[in-house]
Amino acid sequence: MSQNKKNFVAVRTQYYKSGAAQKVLAHGYRKHSNSPNVVEKYTPYNFGMRYQSLDDCMAQYKAVSGRKPQDKMNVLFEHVVVFSEDQFKERKPGKKEFDECMQRYIKAIHADFGFQPLGYELHLDEGHTDEKTGEFKRNIHAHVHFFNYDFKKKKAPLRDLMKKGKDENGKTLPLNHNFVKMQDMAAEAFKPLGFRRGISKGERNRKHLDKDTFIVSKKLSEIINRYDKVRRLVHNLDKDITAKKLNLKEQEERLSEYQDLEELHNTKIQPMLLAFEKLEEAFKAGQDYEEQLNSFKKLQSEITEKDLKSAGRIIKKL
């Protein structure tokens, strides 16, 4: 194998509340897609497996716990398992052998952490065209979905999973050992297809990461942290405005207030939500997210954090 050839497998994780979860599942299962990174002629080659639906798991949760999941609960735990295109091209795994490896990974996550498997979808239709060569570079990855509940232990595992743990000196570990373990599990599961572990085991091994990948990950982390407060404000306003609009629409004498809210929602809030989604999708797909970031910055220059807080106070008074 050439030293320049890549054969990595790596895992990125994210969690979502029920509203966002449905959109994530729709993208993962290709119920709809308007992403510019999708080349539709390759979409028929996508494949996957379904075990349970999110709605079924939420109904099962209610039956077990006696109450439906709270709005603030992160119900969906998504793993984006990324594969080296070089190794995929060389190995050309069939559906059956790929599925066997993926099921090995899913079963390992379920057995070790308790998350309830929903299913997965391998995406072979995303990527970009190299401007110099005209070659289509695929971003091969699988969306793997879990419901954030352990029905045997009757608890949501994600909360415990987020704890980094401490070293022998009582200091917080630089990396979360649970997520490090997930990288190990992916490497072990897909080893029969010639893939190796693609993420370093600790801060001391960061030099083994692909330099560009590490820089992009670090930059996006800084961006998300910087705008996280704004994002929370926007999401909260979206929910509040939707609820208020329904009430005001039924009151003819408050039509002007309804129209003001409708304009704010359509021209500011929804575009910002979409900008956030595109930014995160671009990163997950391994694509250049600078264009999406600039779109969001432009929107934020039009409605500042101060404006968002002011709008929130007005909405609460309506």
Q: Which pLDDT score, from 0 to 100, does residue 156 have?
A: 94
Residue of 248 and 162 predicted with greater confidence: 162
Q: Which pLDDT score, from 0 to 100, does residue 204 have?
A: 37
Q: What is the DSSP letter of 206?
A: G
Residue 138's identity, in one-letter code, is R
102 and 185 Cβ atoms separated by less than 8 Å: no
Answer yes or no: pTM beyond 0.75.
no
Query: Taking Cα atoms as reference points, which of 78, 68, 73, 80 lies closest to residue 12?
Result: 80
Residue of 193 and 258 predicted with greater confidence: 193
Query: Taking Cα atoms as reference points, which of 2, 180, 11 lies closest to residue 83?
Result: 11
Lowest-pLDDT range, 134-148, 272-286, 298-312? 272-286
User: Rounded mean pLDDT of 291-318?
Assistant: 69
Residue of 309 and 21 predicted with greater confidence: 21
Helix (H), strand (E) counts: the chain: 11, 8
For 309, the enclosing helix (H) or strand (E) is: helix 305-317
Structure tokens at 14: 């994210």
Domain boundaries, the chain: 8-209, 217-317
The segment with the largest mean pLDDT, out of 48-57, 252-261, 274-283, 292-301, is 48-57
- Confidence category of residue 189, pLDDT binned at 50, 70, 90: very high
Q: Please state the separation of Cα 261 from the chain's center in Å.
A: 30
- The domain 8-209 is classified under which CATH number: 3.30.930.10, 3.40.50.10710, 3.30.930.30, 3.10.25.10? 3.30.930.30
- Confidence category of residue 306, pLDDT binned at 50, 70, 90: confident
Q: Which residues, at least 6 apart from 194, have a Cβ–Cβ distance to it below 8 Å? A: 7, 87, 90, 91
**Strands 8-17, 196-197: parallel, antiparallel or unpaired by DSSP?**
parallel
Measured CA to CA, the distance from residue 226 to residue 220 in angstroms comes to: 10
* Average confidence score pLDDT of the chain: 78
76 and 147 Cβ atoms separated by less than 8 Å: yes
Q: Which pLDDT score, from 0 to 100, does residue 269 have?
A: 72
Lowest-pLDDT range, 44-48, 131-135, 160-164, 274-278? 274-278
User: Rounded mean pLDDT of 103-129?
Assistant: 94
